[in-house]
Structure 1
Amino acid sequence: MISELANTIFNQAINDYHQFDDIDHPIVNPYEKDSLSHLFYLKNWIDTAQWHMEDVVRNPDITPVEGLSWKRRIDAQNQVRTDMVEFIDGYFLAQYQQVTPSANATVNTESPAWAIDRLSILALKIYHMQEEADRVTASEAHRAQCKAKLEVLLMQRNDLSKSIDELLADIAAGKKYMKVYKQMKMYNDPSLNPVLYKKA
């Protein structure tokens, strides 16, 4: 199952990252470059780095200049994340290009890779909520609250994993078909963001 592979690799990438816990630590992807496993590992590493960037920028003592620098870095990382999702969708499009959809096939509300993107973020939520549920310096009430949230996140991961596997099975069977739209983020494009093109 694709979801089982993804969840396993996401957990591996998160654990590997936290050996160093350094946003700038170079990634060492253990999987062959053209494999889906390689893409999943890279995807989650990108998400993990961005997760920690989001933590840093919320430091109440951060200076405005430093905060703006981190905000721009987060924007750039988010574009990398979006590009990675679209690349994974390209992998699935190629995998199922020989499938002829049935006459009554439907398109899903989101592509497989965007669902996998949510699964990657869920892996991060689960990892960090587990940390909070186990944090000995926190109050008993805090740990209990985080444990309850963790149970919900684990249930959500099970449901989403099942949905992803069902979606891919339906695409393979021709019951659904992929239709991928590029995100076309306008704020990053100097020709589309009026603040940027009016400066030019």
Structure 2
Amino acid sequence: MLSANSIKYLHDRCTKHWHEEPDTTPYALSDWEKLISQHHYANCDLWHLEDKAREAGASDAQIADTKRGIDKTNQVRNDLVEKLDEALLAYLEPYNLPNSLEKQHSETPGMIIDRLSILELKIYHTREEMRRTDAPAGHSERNRHRLDVLEMQHADLRQCLDDLWAEVMAGTRYFKVYRQLKMYNDPALNPAIYRRQEK
């Protein structure tokens, strides 16, 4: 079910789709691929909202509105990381896996997939910067070096994901859903929200 290279391929297709063909049907075949795509699209949205918050000349109101969009989208992203792990655990259940008697892995597959998603976006935008015709001297070369590092890190992380999944399937490592339990969007838990509502 879990293959780092398949995830890389899907992330690459979704990234190009988000940037180049936004009005067409998103790529996704199985329920698992749909989940990975939804998560990656949330990271795409988050990336560009972060850019928007840093636009020169943005008003305070625009920045505040964008910040709220960032918070909302980040919540979606974190919820989807948990859903990725839940889907993997549901797949493993008929095999009586993962083996909770073995050592727990601190980072879940969903968390690794999230890191791969962000690295994919860094790679895409670094390639964009390499192709800029209006950039200062040395800009393309600097980004070529950055791309080498990013691609190495992506390959390393893909190997880590495949290794973890192989250990889980062999019953020598286990993971469980790591609940984020974010507080900043919850009006019952964030004092900046509930104190204002009490006034």
Superposition TM-score, scaled by structure 1 size: 0.91
Superposition TM-score, scaled by structure 2 size: 0.91
Alpha-carbon offset, residue 50 of structure 1: 1.2
Alpha-carbon offset, residue 100 of structure 1: 4.5
Aligned with 2:4: secondary structure? helix
Match of 1:152 in 2: 149
Q: Which is further off, 104-113 or 144-153?
A: 104-113
Matches within 5 A, 1:68-147: 68-97=64-93, 98-100=95-97, 105-147=102-144
- Whether the 8 Å CA contact 1:190–1:196 is kept in 2: the answer is yes
Match of 1:57 in 2: 53
Match of 1:8 in 2: 9
Quote the Cα distance in structure 2 between the aligned partners of 1:51 and 1:95: 30
Relative to 1, partners in 2 of residues 1:70 and 1:126: Cα closer, same or farther, differing over 3 Å? Answer: same
Q: Which is further off, 188-197 or 115-124?
A: 188-197
Alpha-carbon offset, residue 42 of structure 1: 1.5
1:47-88 CA deviation, whole Å, 9 max, x = no partner?
111111111110120000011001001100000001111111
Aligned with 1:60: secondary structure? coil
Structure 2: gaps (5+ residues) = none
Alpha-carbon offset, residue 28 of structure 1: 3.0
1:86-105 CA deviation, whole Å, 9 max, x = no partner?
11111111111233455861
Quote the Cα distance in structure 2 between the aligned partners of 1:102 and 1:37: 25
- Whether the 8 Å CA contact 1:111–1:178 is kept in 2: the answer is yes
Structure 1: gaps (5+ residues) = none
Matches within 5 A, 1:13-28: 13-20=14-21, 28=25
Identity %: 35
- Whether the 8 Å CA contact 2:105–2:175 is kept in 1: the answer is yes
